[in-house]
Structure 1
Amino acid sequence: MTSYRQPGIVLTDRHFTVPLDHADPAGEQIELYGREVVASERAGADLPWLVYLEGGPGFGARRFHGKQAWLGRAVQEYRVLLLDQRGTGRSTPQNRQTLPRRGGPKAQSEYLAHFRADSIVRDCETIRPQLTGGAPWTVLGQSFGGFCATHYLSTAPEGLRTVIISGGLPALDGHADDVYRAAYPRMQRKAEAHYDRYPQDVRRARRIAAHLAEHKTELPGGYTLTPEAFQSLGILLGGGDGSHQLHYLLENAFVRTAGGHELSDAFQESVRATLSYAAHPLYAVLHESIYAQGAEPTAWAAERVRAEFPQFDAETALNGDEPLLFTGETVHPWHFDVDPALRPLREAADLLAARTEWAPLYDPARLAANGVPVAAAVYHDDMYVDTQHSLGTARAIRGLRTWITDEYEHDGVRASGPRVLDRLLSLARGEA
């Protein structure tokens, strides 16, 4: 273990070995990485543990420095483990560079089927005794991390002291189609709210999309920016300052050159940084599988359901007078054509989309009998996780207390500093 310091905290690198397939504990092993964080003045104290499960899928735990965001509140009383979930960060990372070692697309897809919430929770239960001596710990789940925490409550509640969920209560039995049928109207509301705030962006967005429709545009690094890919910048609109980010990005789109107006280098670089999956490819490859249960394939649900909402069609918008609608947290087959980080993974992603052997993720009977203190922040009209789905699940988990708020967007636990975590801990303890 390696320890080092930042202002106010001591950090320690932790490495663990777990089975790839927990049903075969003697089989292939993979490595997990977690960053232990403790307040400097309490470094030697016997503290309870809190494990943080990041959103995603496909993102390693956030790299904080010092007592940023919620972390400063957590280290007041916990020793925190910022866990890179399997396949992310420093935990046996999976991407276009590493996956070919598994073999062809079929072997890759079979391997990646072990990277969902069920395996992540089994990982947690494997490493928990090594850190806590067998004592239960507190889980903080952000977004997809909340999906994992809900699975944890369904399968291993004995390992849990408290569960805190921020923007991550999943539908317990909804198919991916149901998720996206609820999502597209939310995306439309977010786009319309953005245009209400910045009406000048209606013209700007249409102009950019029209330019892309007429000119093949390859961004730095080889990303092909199509009108549909441009629409996916709407993923910014789910964050607290995302509308402002999008506005400032759009206002710098064009520069005048000797040959006429062109998309500026600054715009192209900002778009590439926002849209590329190079840093988190599993988000795209596994995204719809986080909803998969039973024998029904996801079959590229976001793409199929999008056809039910013709107002999102870029060509139709450009041929008419309607504003161009942005999309959001949707992954489409064409992402694997336009993004060089995803192109080599297209066949594996297709096989995962067609897969019909998915284990159930949630146990409604066990959740109805839950005895673990649970509190969840539900963000009103959250763009990424449907509010009604979340409230239905909240009612299904015995004893869960909700905080429903429109003060924050999906990133509330990060954007609020200590406030959201402090509020949820108080709810879970019956102090609020």
Structure 2
Amino acid sequence: RAAEPEPAITEERQKRRKDREAVKRRAAEPEPAITEERQKRRKEREAARQRAAEPEPAITEERLKRRKEREAAMRRPENAARLFDSAKEKPVRRKPGGAGSDQPAARARAERLPESDAAAQARASTDPVQIGSVISEEGRRIERPRRERPEVPEGAELVREVNNRFIFRTNNTYFIERPREERFIIDAREVYYEELPRSRQREVVVRPDGTRIVTIRNRWGDVVRRVKILPDDREIVLVYVEDDYYDEVLEWRDPGLDLPPLDLDIPVRDYILDAEWVEDPEDYYTFLDQPPVEQVERTYSLDEVRRSARIRDKVRRIDLDIINFEFGSAQIPESEIGKLEGVAGAMQRLLKENPGETFLIEGHTDAVGAEVANLALSDQRAEAVATALTNVFDIAPENMETQGYGEQYLKVETQGPERENRRVAIRRITPLVAPVASSE
């Protein structure tokens, strides 16, 4: 029995032995299906590591470069200037007991960003603004006014005239003025002027299609009303400010002096859009369509907005640092015009939704050269961009205001040549200069 075991028992043992041997073979030589899947995954991981180590020459290198540059820009360099233009200005000497002299040093922190232009203007007035027709008031025809200001208010000094631009100094700051109707009257069918009560003037520009652009200026030349009257006599309000205040004011004064410094807890990229990093033109529209970053106390004149950095700080800014001007030149090279297409498309779209939109085109320079010369150059560059937007992209001139600021608001703190300081910027200032839905 020991030498010749029973057949049933021997077969069972043999079966078990075969099973154990089969398990050992599977462990040593795994089944093809499992091995192929593992090998496939291993190859994919190796390929991914190789792609990370050796990126594709054209696309990947460019994307990696732009990503690193964007990350560096978001971190802001050590020599980056302060975020808000109003924080870059020279201290203003205030008169004892004057308005704004007792303002606390605390910063104005927005508890909640306004969700719309209407929400931003909610505190400006509890009653709807009733705007009468801009041509209802009778005027007396006069010759075209002289380019000089009729009067120079107290606190301002005329420094120089450069290419029909007048440079003034007030509160330790230079600013530039010029005849602003030049862009409006190109190809006009008729232009005439009228004298109104309280030393105001009305300018009417008639376009070939019958559209009229009517502008009312106060005694200082500040624009307090601007309306586009369509051929069907519908009036679209572009600028509206209660001008009674100006009748008693004898000096230019920054309305931002009544406000504490602005302090916003939002990322820089949500407040300033660098055109250099824009890959989707839709970003221009999304950015310009955003409301102010804080409440708007009242509507301001165009000149108040142009002169007050603190008021301009209320709205976001696009830096068109993709436009490259030649050194000392305000001419836009033909090769650079196409770079305006993205922001021009956004402006066209906004104007289609609301023909009463107003955009401020700002010109800036670096700190190389004389301050007064840079001021004039920056103003010419802002005007050149606005002219290109009109001539090439059909943005109506009355929907754009221009102003040069020279080297006053550097983006990078340096007295040497710096490309980022030689820039043009765009802001949508509609909620600062006109009541919401006023065109209706």
Task: State TM-score, norm by structure 1.
Answer: 0.22
Q: Considering fraction of residues, name the structure with more helix.
A: 1
Pick the structure with greater CA Rg. Answer: 2
Task: State TM-score, norm by structure 2.
Answer: 0.22
